[in-house]
Homo-oligomer: A and B are copies of this chain.
Amino acid sequence: MAQDRPPSNRSTTQRAAVLRAVESVHTHPNAEEVYRLVRKNMPNISLATVYRNLHLLADEGKLREVQFLGDVLRYDAMTDPHEHFYCRACHRVWDLDSSLPETVLRATERKTHGSIERYALDYYGLCSHCRKSTTSRD
């Protein structure tokens, strides 16, 4: 039974532009924001193409998907393991160095009913800017 090999991904200008857009910012943009960025240079790329390529690039490991409570999927060009702080007021994201000790990861691997392929450690709160300008609530 001949394995039908997966079609090799063609390299399109759209795909390259989507990747470059995410790499060009440190804001962890969502699909809509990537769409806006790419359209500056490629005014009639379609939104569906942006979505398709974001997923594809994430599958290939060139981008990382991140998502915070109640927010939509966002994309991160920093694929090395690291953690995030998410401000619940302005929805901005800060990168944090990896702080989860290897020992913790190993211990969880033992306890868990499955194999751990990845993890997300997300911190939530108010950023210093929003702490000044608001009276605590959202």
Chain A positions near chain B (C-beta within 8 angstroms): 65-67, 69-70, 73, 83, 85, 87-88, 94, 96-97, 99-101, 104, 107-108, 111-131
A70 nearest CB across to chain B (Å): 7
Each complex incorporates copies of this chain amounting to 2
A65 touches B70 (CB 8 A): yes
Query: Which one, B67, B87, B100, contacts A70 given CB within 8 A?
Result: B67
When chains A and B are docked, how far (Å) is the Cα of A107 from the Cα of B97?
11
B125 touches A116 (CB 8 A): yes
What would 9 A/B residue contacts be, using CB atoms closer than 8 Å? A65-B69, A67-B70, A85-B114, A100-B104, A108-B123, A114-B126, A114-B128, A120-B120, A121-B122
B113 touches A85 (CB 8 A): yes
A100 touches B97 (CB 8 A): no
